[in-house]
Structure 1
Amino acid sequence: MTITRRGMALGLVSLTALSACGRSPRGAAMAGPGDAPPPRPAPASAPNAGFDDWVVSFKNRAASQGFTQAQLDSAFRGVGYLPSVVANDNKQTEFTRTLEDYIAIAASDERVTNGRAKFRQFSSVLSGVESRYGVDAKVVAAVWGMESSYGARRGETPIVSAMATLAYDGRRRDFFEQQLIAVLKILAAGDTTPDRMIGSWAGAMGHTQFMPTSYLSYAVDYTGDGRRDIWGDDPSDALASTANYLKKFGWTKGQPWGVEVRLPQGFDRSKIGFSISRSPADWAAMGIRDMDGGTVGNYGSSKVIQPAGGGGPAFMVFNNFEVIKRYNNATSYAIGVGHLGDRIAGGGPIRGSFGPDPQGLTLDDRKDIQRRLTARGFDTDGTDGVIGAKSEAAIRAFEAANGMPSTGIATKELLTRLGGRPG
């Protein structure tokens, strides 16, 4: 298993459902496009004698590594066994989300609008971070948007309890005990307090969702107050820490993550892919152009990929694309961050067509279905064109109210019944 900053390898477009929203172990940023979710209570602890005995044993081991009794008592005051954390760890089912759906969520209208507002609000911080670390401010902002919806979804789980629970009763006990030791080091350094150390159920923390061990390696004190505070409302340290992370993994200043390109008619797709790297000039000689018909600038060796398959959008990606993947080892994530950053900076949507889905509907058709259902009182939780659990429930409710078979599937027939016409 490849361990990145996120502590978990995620595959191309086929993502792992590691949280209640089926997003990742970090938080709920991909649960939907909105940036103001309703507050959720912290998970409840439950009595567990075995866990209590394990905590005593762990504290003895930690003391042998140099932690004082006062530090351990402070860190573990009020710590409890969290059954919901174990349940989340045990239900990591696989599901597939198309790249089109992933991008529709990652760079939704709401997330782009909110991202541009946050970029303006924190322009001085972001420009300062870019100047100091050489990482594009728009990319740092995009990571912030992807990881926590610009700070709105930082998690609600007490990290000490979560890491202790998973070190005692999880599937990767050694890994989470390592994270718990890192938590103790963070607390001992005075960067935060146990009550403020809140994050996702699997340990990711703050505005840009660092695992504890990665925090120790890459977090920085940008504000100069003596603390590397990624948990508070001020995102400055978190944004700078993200830039520092990307810089350490080889970010190239002035190089784009990638450029959407157009393949010539009849192009041999066997000449592209993740294993084939050429200069932009070589690609130009093959007839590959940007979406406006020009040649792509010489930003170094690049790859041309078409991750959604033949007929879907194609991208020329550079080294910075691979650096973004060090944050989350998924092609869909890297495209999502890069594209969201471009949108925040004023760019437009992806121009290549993904084509219709298996039901013959386009993304715009699915958005139309959601809009029409919402207008009739059937809540789809947004109109991003992604048919998730809420949209399926809304479709079933509409079908039941109109004497239709219960399917929960967005179809041309459904769109017609709602008064629309497939595109």
Structure 2
Amino acid sequence: MRRRTLIRSIPAVSAGLLVSTAAAARAAGSFQEFLVEVDAQAAAHGVSYATRRAALNGLSPNQDVIDLDNRQPEFTQTWAQYSAKRLSAARVATGRQNYGANRTLLAAIYTQFGVAPGVIMGIWGLETNYGTYTGGFSVVQALATLGWTSHRPSYFRSELVSALSIIDSGAVTPQGMTGSYAGAMGQPQFMPSVYLKLAVSFTGTGRPDIWTSVPDSLASIANYLLTSGWRGDEPWGEAVLLTSRVDAAAIDPDQAEPLSSWMAMGVRRLPNHPAVAYSMPARLIQPDGVGGDAFLVYPNYHAIRRYNPSDFYALSVGLLGDLITA
């Protein structure tokens, strides 16, 4: 992986994070000043000197992070293209293997949090391919780079201080704290502030390990969903068919109606549909527009969207979970 390395010798964070050469100082002086400010902020939040020194000394900006942050995403995929990749036969098969291996664990998580195994498996599968790809970036370096250069410096600086607090708790080392280029960490891809609020030590150590512990990772996903409003055994949604009586072009995807009303309008449910009260509020979503797939989504769908505010993502999570646990 390409890196822009700034060569320097830094005796201590509190000593000013001085660079060793004039050229390096010209290239990274403002970054070093930024780290001094972060050091002071972390100290004010109770992060120990030893942690600050271990995490911040010798730190340089990561050019790959800068490039990825500056690259504007192109949202050109259709739902058909997006779902074909996320709901591939290989991903479903791997999900079923992991589900089989973790049935007892998922049952215990359900008992404590009331969150169904399917949605947990769906998120785990989409976020990190069941924990096999959690991102190879140093979270501290990524957040420091974004706190210095991004268009949301206050947000990323705050996340960096949260990351230092996690390291200071002994939950993970600076080297072990890996994640995405934007600082999302571990198997659930939590930002540090989310970790501090919602990560769970299901194994009972008191220090949630979302990097190497499957129990902690899956329980943390469940706790996130529960906090986001997940409602017990209710389904997230279901695929439906639209008869010719449905004016598909006139459907407002933000308008909720009771399931009975949608059925009266000509929406037809598929065989083996989930058990749902006819009074259940539902929205009709057509992710590829009129003529494509159609879904009725229920209140639990909104809890998934709290994890990632994308209909493509939320639909894929629900469908993947259903396929895995069928």
1:75 aligned onto 2:35: no
Match of 2:154 in 1: 174
Counterpart for residue 281 of structure 1: 260
Kindly tell me: are residues 116 and 78 of structure 1, through their superposed partners in 2, closer, same or farther at Cα, counting changes over 3 Å? farther
Q: 2:282 aligns with which of 275, 297, 302?
A: 302
Q: Are residue 260 (structure 1) and residue 220 (structure 2) matched? A: no
Pick one of 134, 141, 144 that aligns with 1:164: 144
- Partner residue of 1:31? none
Matched residue SS, 2:307? coil
2:216 maps to a residue whose letter is D
How far does the alpha carbon of each residue in 1:253-285 deviate from its partner, in whole angstroms, 9 at most, with x for none? 111111111111242125533222111122222
Distance in 2 of aligned mates of 1:77 and 1:294? 56
Q: CA offset at residue 77 of structure 1?
A: 3.9
Shift of 1:295: 9.8
Distance 1:157-1:141 versus aligned 2 partners, 3 A rule: same
Deviations 1:32-80 (A, max 9, x none): xxxxxxxxx5856434333223212321232233333223112224432
Alpha carbons 2:172, 2:209 under 8 Å: kept: yes
TM-score (norm 1): 0.69
CA contact (8 A) 1:46 1:82 kept: no
Report SS of the residue matched to 2:257: coil
8 Å CA contact retained: 1:260, 1:313 = yes
Does residue 248 in structure 1 map to residue 227 in structure 2? yes
Matched residue, 1:272: 251
Residue 227 of structure 1: how far off its partner (Å):
1.3
What RMSD over aligned residues (CA atoms) do the two structures have, in Å? 1.9
Q: In the superposition, relative to structure 1, how do residues 93 and 294 fare at CA in structure 2: closer, same or farther (>3 Å)?
A: closer
| Amino acid aligned to 2:265 | M
Aligned partner letter, 1:46: L
Q: Which residue of 1 aligns with 2:163?
A: 183
- SS of the residue corresponding to residue 281 of structure 2 reads coil
Q: State the shift of 1:331 in Å.
A: 0.6
Mean Cα displacement is larger for which, 122-131 or 177-186?
Answer: 122-131
Distance 1:114 1:273 in 2: 36
Corresponding residue for residue 21 of structure 2: none
Cα distance change on mapping 1:119 and 1:44 into 2, 3 Å: farther
1:155 aligns with 2:135: yes
* Pairwise CA distance, 1:294: 7.8
Choose from 334, 337, 346 the match for 2:317. Answer: 337
> Residue type matched to 1:189 in 2?
S
Determine whether 1:211 maps to 2:171: no
Find the residue that maps to 1:261 and give its secondary structure: strand
| Contact map agreement 2:96 2:325 (CA 8 A) in 1 | yes
Which has the larger helix fraction?
2
Q: Between 250-259 and 66-75, report the one with greater CA deviation.
A: 66-75
Partners of 1:243 and 1:78 in 2: CA distance: 37
Q: 1: distance between equivalents of 2:150 and 2:98?
A: 37
Alpha-carbon deviation of 1:171? 2.1
Letter in 2 for 1:315: F
Q: Contact 2:245–2:266 (CA<8 Å) still a contact in 1?
A: no
- Of 95, 99, 102 in structure 2, the residue corresponding to residue 115 of structure 1 is 95
State the TM-score, normalizing by the size of structure 2.
0.88
Distance 2:100 2:271 in 1: 29
Counterpart for residue 296 of structure 2: 316
* Distance across 1 between alignment mates of 2:164 and 2:254: 42
Q: Would you say the 8 A contact 1:249–1:323 is kept in 2?
A: yes
Gaps of 5+ in 2: 8-27
Match of 1:66 among 39, 42, 46: 46
Residue 166 of structure 2 contacts residue 172 of structure 2 at CA under 8 Å; is this kept in 1?
yes
Residue of structure 1 in register with 2:217 after alignment:
238
Which shifted more, 150-159 or 303-312?
Answer: 303-312
The residue that corresponds to 1:23 in the other structure is none
> Larger deviation: 89-98 or 52-61?
52-61
Q: Deviations over 1:148-189 (max 9, x none)?
A: 011111111111111111111222111110100111111122
State the aligned residue count: 305
d(CA) in 2 for partners of 1:163, 1:294? 44
Provide the secondary structure at the position in 1 that maps to 2:238. Answer: strand
Are 1:127 and 1:137, in contact at CA under 8 Å, matched by a contact in 2? yes
- In structure 2, the partner of 1:4 is none
Quick one: structure 1 residues 45 and 116, their matched pair in 2 at CA, closer, same or farther if it must change by over 3 Å?
farther
Q: What amino acid maps onto 2:210 in structure 1?
A: I
Q: Is the 8 A contact 1:276 1:303 kept in 2?
A: yes
The 1:78/1:229 distance shift into structure 2, 3 A limit, reads farther
Deviation of 1:340 (Å): 0.4
- 1:297 is displaced (CA, Å) by 2.9
Change in CA separation of 1:142 and 1:310 when aligned onto 2, cut-off 3 Å: same
For 1:293 and 1:127, the matched residues in 2 are separated by: 23
Percentage of pairs with the same residue: 37
- State the Cα distance separating 1:138 from its structure 2 match: 1.2
